[in-house]
Structure 1
C-alpha cells in the first residue's frame, strides 16, 4: 500500500462528485471483455448500468447481487464493449494492488442516499 497522499483539493471540487448508495440488482457477463461485467444498480428513483472490471477479481461476480455499495453517478457516460457505463463503482483496494472489496454502508439505507 502506498502512503503517498494525493495533492490537497478544495471542498468545492469534492462537492461536485455525486456519490450515492445503490443496490446491485443484477450482474451480467460482457462476453467481449475478459474483465468487465455489467451491473444494473437501483438508486431508488432511477436505475443505472455500470460497467465494472471485476471478472478476474472474483470467482463469482454474481455474489454481489443484493448488496448495497457506493457509486459515483455523475460521470459522463462512456461506451465500452458495445455497452454504455453510466457511473463508477466506488471500491476499496484496487489502487493499492489488493483484491478490491465493495465500499458499503454499515447498515441498510435507502437506495439513492448521498455520501458526503
Structure 2
C-alpha cells in the first residue's frame, strides 16, 4: 500500500539544472477539478473520499484543510489551497493509486503530444 506513496514530487531532490516552476494559478486548479468531475461523473464523490485517504497518509493528517468538513469537500479545499509542490504530489497520487475511474497508462485524461 505504501510502496510508492512517499515517492512524490515534493519529496524528490531537484537538481540545480531543473527549470524554475511557474506558480500554478487558481484557474489551473479549478480546471483540474472540473476535468476530474466531468470524467468521473457519479463516482466523483467516492474518488475524492479515497484520494483524501491517500493524501492523509502522505501528510500524516486526518483533516487536510483548516475547515471541518466531509472528506470530499476537505479534499477539494486542499487542492484549491495547498502549495504547488503538494498539488503536484496529488496529481501523481491520482495516477499511482489505482483510484476509482482512473486507469494508467490508457487514460483519456492523459494527452500525449
Shorter chain as normaliser: what TM range? under 0.3
Q: Which has the higher helix share?
A: 2
Tell which has more relative contact order, 1 or 2 (C-alpha 8 A, sep 6+).
2
Q: TM-score w.r.t. structure 2 length?
A: 0.25
